Amino acid sequence: MSSQHTPYWNKEMPAHPVVAVAGATGAVGREMLKTLEQRQFPASRVIALASSRSAGSKVAFNGPGSVDGFLTVEEMTHDSFEGVDIALFSAGGSISEEYAPDCVRCGAVMIDNSSAFRMDPEVPLVVPEVNPDDALLHKGIIANPNCSTIQMVVALEPLHKLAPIKRVVVATYQAASGAGAAAMQELYDQTGDFLEGKEVHPEKFAHRIAFNCIPHIDKFLDDDSTKEEWKMVVETKKIMHDDNIAVSATCVRVPVLRCHSEVVNVEFESEVSVEAARAAFEAAPGIIVMDDPAAALYPMPALLEGTDHTYVGRLRKDDTIAHGLNFWVVADQLRKGAALNAVQIAELLV
């Protein structure tokens, strides 16, 4: 964020703010509206914004500003944020960059779901269960982390309090909806085509997603890692305020509609027992432990669509390193990985 913008961020947030949702017709935007409604966010009015193509359409929302359970979508312009207190953005990085100066000029706090500002040193990157105080240090923009990073750091934070984390190795199994509503539809369509013996034509993914796993999310970088993997590395360090944590990530797209899953291996500076880790998980905000191997109980995407917590299971010791643990993490990336985390940040401001 440029320092040329007029600083206004010490203004008092009203108890009942006006909230705008930018990108309201997208998968995350709709989930933001649903989350605002379900959590009874104390808005005085909610405004749905999208491109001119969507202006005039209706999106479901039963709350302030709605009529008969719907909001009428307004075209987002550079004047849309006059009178807005909080702007929840999920419209893509280029749109966020274009409209950020307007939010700042109008006095609206932008909570941005794109990657546009995440690594800007002047923009806090916030997961409320991990670094809530950072939200109050904003200068008009707060960044929502990457979905796969959010659920991992929610699980890492209680462990990091037991003993400093030395190294994390994570492999993700990321749902199609992480690439948007059109990607979800592509999984539906390709599955039907494949089962009917028809030729499959990938559009949103580099390869066929139906009955396949694709170890390629976002673009490849010079070191042959992907940008998604890079995000998990740098965002974890920023959120947890610890540049000494080494992170190695491999991110994979799988034929699941909703909920990202991760297998996480953690190496600590000193011993952390399975029992201590389990107790820390059970006491941590936002985490539910599902871990009973004898009963075949563990988190699975098919069971957890639409839920708000981060679920942990398959907790066990890693005897191949001095102080290691393995566990499995599942969360709905449209909820905790995007919409819910953004609304929780807004709740911190109010």
Assess whether 260 carries a catalytic annotation.
Answer: yes
- DSSP lists the bridge partners of residue 212 as none
Contacts with 110 (C-beta within 8 Å, 6 or more apart), sequence order = 87, 89, 96, 99, 100, 103, 104, 140, 141, 142
The token duo for 175 is 């749902």
The three-class DSSP label of residue 345 is: helix
User: Considering 103, 106, 138, 260, which one is annotated as catalytic?
Assistant: 260
Strand locations in the chain, DSSP E?
18-22, 45-50, 58-60, 70-72, 74-75, 86-89, 109-112, 141-143, 165-174, 246-253, 260-268, 287-289, 310-318, 324-331
| The residue count for the chain | 350
Please pick, among 147, 160, 251, 259, the residue that the annotation labels catalytic: 147
Distance CA(41)–CA(64), nearest Å, equals 10
C-alpha to C-alpha distance for 210 and 221, rounded to whole angstroms:
26
Q: How far is 306 from 108, CA to CA, in rounded Å?
A: 29
Is 103 a catalytic site residue?
A: no
- DSSP letter at 137 equals G
Residue positions annotated with a catalytic role = 147, 260
